[in-house]
Amino acid sequence: MHELIDELFIGSLGGKTLKEKKDSAVIRLGGESYAFTTDSYVVSPLFFPGGDIGRLAVSGTVNDLAVCGAKPLYISLGLVMEEGLPKKTLEKIVVSIGAASKEAGVEIVTGDTKVVERGACDKIFINTSGIGKIVYKGLEIGRIKHGDVVMVSGPIGDHAISVLSKREGLGFASNIKSDAVPLNGLISRIVKASAGIRFMRDPTRGGLGTTLNEIVRDGSFGIAIDEEAVPVRGTVRSACELLGYDPLYLACEGRVIVIAAREDAGRIVRAMKKDSLGRGSAVIGCITKEHKGRVYLRTKSGGKRIIDMLAGEQLPRIC
């Protein structure tokens, strides 16, 4: 996918803004800076422990804006529905979208519906676009410095295992819930607590491991993370051991990676822990001069393991 984006889409379409490859494009209108993002959701099944495709769509769009330092304001909603989709299913999804939008404090301002013939899509696909005003400026990979710390706001992998367990009818489904949630409130708390935040990103497709690799791609620094410090719920870890998955590559939909000055780490973690969405937050590693352009794991046994970019999709159709 990264090669496809670089070679085809950016190669054929790329202007200056697109080439920056941010979660949200930052544009200037009337002297103000705004973030603009879009995403599509094709998750299967539509409903899973802790969420559904509607809540996922709102949360994902809001979070892409928030990690860029923006206050999410408006969202568009596009629905592609398969012929024969039960009205009750659609109603349940739309109600969930409304509830998640209210929770995030954003307004659905425009939308579109299309119906395709039976079999042309899997029940319903959703596209959302969002606009937010930049209120916290300067979040750039270029600001990251050697010695900065890497934090995550909570346990990883909950969303991916929740969706998989429901899809496959696995016995631990009821014990693991998706973390799909709008993070703009938590992020607002974080940025108010510290002026030392360098960069933020939500670890969605490809999980923590892939997201950290995207951050180090320019090769000016490396990232070292400690295996014992990375928060993973026991139920998620057990599921991974049973199914042969690596939790570092499991998608999250309600977690944020924060890179900040070392002296501000304690202040940021305390701020996160005061919010119910950040109570499982932890410092998991640091920015290093070693292994520039690479991410490596300090293992429990005292060794080191390179964490590569995920090749392919560990779990398809989870967002």
Does one domain contain both 182 and 209? Answer: yes
Q: Check which CATH number belongs to the domain holding 193 and give it.
A: 3.90.650.10
- pLDDT of 125-176, one tens digit each? 999 999 999 999 999 999 999 999 999 999 999 999 999 999 988 866 557 9
For residue 22, the model assigns a pLDDT of 74
Q: Is 13 exposed, middle or buried (0-12, 13-18, 19+ CB in 10 A)?
A: exposed
Q: Are residues 69 and 149 in the same domain?
A: no
pLDDT surpasses 60 at 246: yes
Domain extent at residue 31: 13-134
Structure confidence at residue 101 (pLDDT): 98
* Same domain (yes/no): 118, 147: no
If you average pLDDT over residues 69-89, what whole number do you get? 98
CA distance 8 to 231: 37
Question: Does 312 reside within a domain?
Answer: no
What mean pLDDT is predicted for residues 230-237? 95
> Quick one: what percent of the chain has pLDDT higher than 70?
98
Same domain assignment for residues 111 and 148: no
C-beta pairs of 263-269 under 8 Å, 24+ apart in sequence: 263/196, 264/193, 264/194, 264/195, 264/196, 264/197, 265/149, 265/151, 267/193, 267/194, 268/151, 268/190, 268/193, 268/194, 268/196, 268/197, 269/151
Instruction: State the CB neighbour count (10 A cutoff) for residue 129.
Output: 16
- Quick check: is 77 in a domain? yes
In the listed set 85, 108, 134, which residue is the last one of a domain according to the structure? 134
Pair (182, 296) in one structural domain: yes
Model-wide pTM > 0.75: yes
Q: Are residues 176 and 272 in the same domain?
A: yes
Domain boundary among the residues 134, 151, 171 is at 134
Q: How far is CA 136 from CA 197, 222, 224, 249, in A?
A: 10, 25, 27, 29
Q: E strands within 168-288?
A: 197-201, 222-226, 257-260, 282-288
Instruction: Give the CB-side neighbour count of residue 258, counting CA atoms within 13 A.
Output: 35
DSSP letters of 164-193? Answer: HHHHHT-TTGGG--------HHHHHHHHHH
Is the residue at 8 inside a domain?
Answer: no
Q: Are residues 296 and 280 in the same domain?
A: yes
* Mean pLDDT across 83-99: 98
Residues 64 and 200 reside in one and the same domain: no
pLDDT, tens only, 263-308: 999 999 999 999 999 999 999 999 999 889 999 999 998 899 999 9
In the predicted model, is pLDDT for residue 112 greater than 90?
A: yes
| Co-location of 99 and 168 in the same domain | no
Instruction: Return the pLDDT at 174.
Output: 58
Confirm if 52 and 181 have CB atoms less than 8 A apart.
Answer: no
If asked whether residues 153 and 228 sit together in one domain, one would say yes
pLDDT on residue 17:
79
Split at pLDDT 50, 70, 90, the class of 100 is: very high
Please report the pLDDT score of residue 108 as a whole number: 98
Domain CATH number, residue 93: 3.30.1330.10
